[in-house]
Structure 1
Amino acid sequence: MKGTAHVKGGNTIELDVRVDNQGNCTGTISGDGAKAQLLRSEGGDVLIKGDRTFWTNSARASGGDGKQGEQLAEKLAGKWVTAPADSQDAAFCDKKQFLAAMDQDKTERQGMKRGETAKVGDEEALILKKEHKGERISMHVATNGEPYILKTVTEGSESSSMTFDNYGEKVKVQQPPQDEIVDPADTQA
């Protein structure tokens, strides 16, 4: 998955994440001046390695103030941290959860009209589109082989675009040494 997406609070993030059916995940998320790496091996814990801004923003998003954000950033910046499975960032490494979140409003894809064909990368795709709640939504679906979604685009107040490729490929994860992983419980004051 690669592109832009909107998260709670109205922020736009950029994603470049690889996920497979065996529970492996690698990639980066960035936005609002912050950047973080993600990884998960065989469905285990999701590990996040964020910069100072990422951890400062995370503290603020959880209701903390600037001082708490700075303290968190001081302890965690540049270190691998185990993320709770229900955290917003961990969701990017859960393919089923991520796709389900993209499809929360089932009415978005109901009544889509067949459009023209276009290329997404090297693949031919049929464009399905519709207007929904003041936004233009389109899905590019592969015309050869399995009808995989190759691209989704939303144009309007919350514009976003996401491409999907390399279906069926295994993701290779280089797990960091255990002594480079921080337990979030150790950061409590």
Structure 2
Amino acid sequence: MLSKRLASTTAIGLLLVAGATACGDNDKPAAADKAAAGKAAAAPGLDTEKLTAEEIQKQAKDALAGATSVKVVGTVNKDADQIAVDLAVDTKGLCKGTLSLPGTGKFELLGDGKQVYLKPDTAFLTSVTEGKNPQAVELLKGRWIGGAQDDPEMKELTTACNLKELTKTFGAGDDSKATNITKGSAGTVNGAKTFSVKSKNSSGGEVTLHVATEGKPYPLRIEKSGKDGGQMDFTDIDKALTVQAPPADQVIDYSLFKDKVQAA
């Protein structure tokens, strides 16, 4: 069913985002967590010589959790597919961007703080309906779908469009059991000075987090190796988003959307 494919594409596309702890959570006492958070708030930059790999990782997680907005750009591999993500999201439920799957098409995602909308392109609609429902493709072509967040299968869309909700997933799942957290090296990401932290995730792949060393220690890039690996860059951090809901005559209700594609 099309809704399941859209939901799974969103979830897969945000897989690296959910790993933005890079190396996962550590089982530290609460007092240690508060102390690390305090350092992140007070420090003008990372003292990579004095901080441990775990402390650098924790500061990056706390810094991103305190951001008001971020744009995530990159790709993630899932089996034989490579999903491309270009999505800006903030803490007020605003978001806009695209997720695409080569050979399948793409869909736009937009959130105005009240509702989440998505607009699959013709290629995506045709592919996921296997060409069996041209009437549905024609009806939905060029139109936004509203109300999707009310469907349990599409919960990921709501999460994807709210940075506060998204950061709650950081460190969740098997990747929170990362091991062998070590320091990497100095470098640059999109012109910003960084320092990397490396670890092994639950599947045996290597996770590398590149953290800004000047200003707030934001994570600026996450790389994962292995068959489900990929790379995500974090840009436009704390940059205000402006989103306008699509015109009503260009929106189709999600319940009607489901009825039209049910037979596909």
Which bin holds the TM-score, normalised by the shorter protein? 0.7 to 0.9
Letter in 2 for 1:103: G
Select which of 182, 185, 189 maps to 1:113. 182
Select which of 125, 132, 150 maps to 2:194. 125
In 2, Cα distance between equivalents of 1:122 and 1:116: 16
Pair 1:92-2:160 in alignment: yes
Deviation at 1:97, TM superposition (A): 4.4
In 1, Cα distance between equivalents of 2:168 and 2:230: 16
TM-superposition CA deviations, 1:136-168 (whole Å, max 9, x none)? 210001111211111000011112100001211
Pair 1:41-2:123 in alignment: no
The answer for the alignment partner of 1:62 in structure 2 is none
Pair 1:82-2:131 in alignment: no
TM-superposition CA deviations, 1:103-138 (whole Å, max 9, x none)? 332113x54211101101121111001233331210
Deviation at 1:102, TM superposition (A): 5.7
Gaps of 5+ in 1: 60-64
Pairing 1:55-74 to 2, within 5 Å after superposition: 55-59=125-129, 66-68=131-133, 70-74=134-138
In 1, Cα distance between equivalents of 2:171 and 2:232: 13
User: 1 or 2, which has the higher strand percentage?
Assistant: 1
TM-score w.r.t. the length of structure 1 is 0.82
User: 1 or 2, which has the higher helix percentage?
Assistant: 2
Pair 1:140-2:210 in alignment: yes
Gaps of 5+ in 2: 1-71
Deviation at 1:180, TM superposition (A): 0.9
Deviation at 1:71, TM superposition (A): 4.1
TM-score w.r.t. the length of structure 2 is 0.61
Provide closer, same or farther for how the CA distance between residues 99 and 32 of structure 1 changes in structure 2, counting only shifts above 3 A: farther
Higher relative contact order (CA 8 A, sep 6+): 2
Select which of 240, 250, 259 maps to 1:180. 250
Using the TM superposition, name which of 110-119 and 90-99 deviates more. 90-99
Letter in 1 for 2:161: C
Deviation at 1:90, TM superposition (A): 4.7
Q: How many residues align?
A: 180
Instruction: Judge conservation of contact 1:53–1:73 (CA < 8 Å) in 2.
Output: no
